[in-house]
Amino acid sequence: MERVCVFIDGSNFYFALKRNNRVTRVDYYQLSLALAGPDRQLMRTYYYNVAYDKNLYPEKAKAQQSFLDSLDRTPYLELRLGRLIPTSDGGIQERGVDVLMASDMVYHGARNSYDTAIVVTEDGDYSVVLDLIKELGKHVEITTFQDSQSRELIRAADLRIPMDPLLNQYATKIFPPDTEDSRGNLAERIGSVQKTFVK
């Protein structure tokens, strides 16, 4: 049976859901199962985002803990966190997420942990990484919404999975029946964070 690993760019996915007027409270295990499909084996999901430093932002760190806890309870999901650093203008900046996600995709491909990588992002910068994964003899699929399709990603991927019909088909499983976003979505609590790719 074909083995699948799912790699989710958490902040990118969250804002794509918001942009498309979708519920942002997501069961990431059910989402990953839907992406893998019934005829493939889901090996693991890797979810990437950022966390507030408890020393620098104690209140915000406490507020987002329920979301992090929910991810820790998600079956077969590895939570991979970058960091937030303060900027000179009083804002905050995301660091390390892109590097974590890119290196994990290549590392696990090289370790033969999967046959197919399913990548949930709209960030065209990952197209170079997708090419590297294919050079390792692996298949690469991306999933994006119809309103934002990166030409670089589509060109690099072996297959594009349209997100809208997938969410519609499995809505009752992917979106838990809770009207309140009680998980305290990390991206929403962070707000608009400038992403910086650290080489």
CATH classification of the domain holding 62: 3.40.50.1010
- Which of 82, 7, 72 has the alpha carbon at shortest distance from 45? 7
Q: Give the pLDDT score at 39.
A: 97
Contacts of 38 (CB under 8 A, 6+ apart): none
Domain count across the chain: 1
**Dihedral angle sign, alpha carbons of residues 100, 102, 103, 106:** positive
Give the separation between CA 42 and CA 3, rounded to whole angstroms.
6
**Dihedral angle sign, alpha carbons of residues 109, 12, 36, 140:** negative
- Which of 62, 104, 66, 100 has the alpha carbon at shortest distance from 83? 100
Give the separation between CA 94 and CA 173, rounded to whole angstroms.
31
Give the pLDDT confidence of 2-60 residue by residue, as tens digits.
Answer: 999 999 999 999 999 999 999 999 999 999 999 999 999 999 999 999 988 888 778 88
Do 95 and 198 contact (CB within 8 A), yes or no?
A: yes
Read off the DSSP letter of residue 54. Answer: T
Tell whether the model's pLDDT for residue 180 goes beyond 90. Answer: no
Q: Give the pLDDT score at 56.
A: 78
| Residue 178 pLDDT level (bands cut at 50, 70, 90) | low
**Dihedral angle sign, alpha carbons of residues 110, 111, 114, 115:** positive
Judged by average pLDDT, the poorest of 146-155, 162-171, 181-190 is: 181-190
Domain with 74 in it: 3-196
Q: Which two tokens stand for residue 50?
A: 């950022």
pTM of the model: 0.86
Give the separation between CA 44 and CA 76, rounded to whole angstroms.
5
**Higher per-residue confidence, 26 vs 66:** 26
Q: Which two tokens stand for residue 106?
A: 């290549």
**Higher per-residue confidence, 145 vs 55:** 145
- Which of 119, 123, 127 has the alpha carbon at shortest distance from 143? 119
Give the separation between CA 51 and CA 27, rounded to whole angstroms.
19
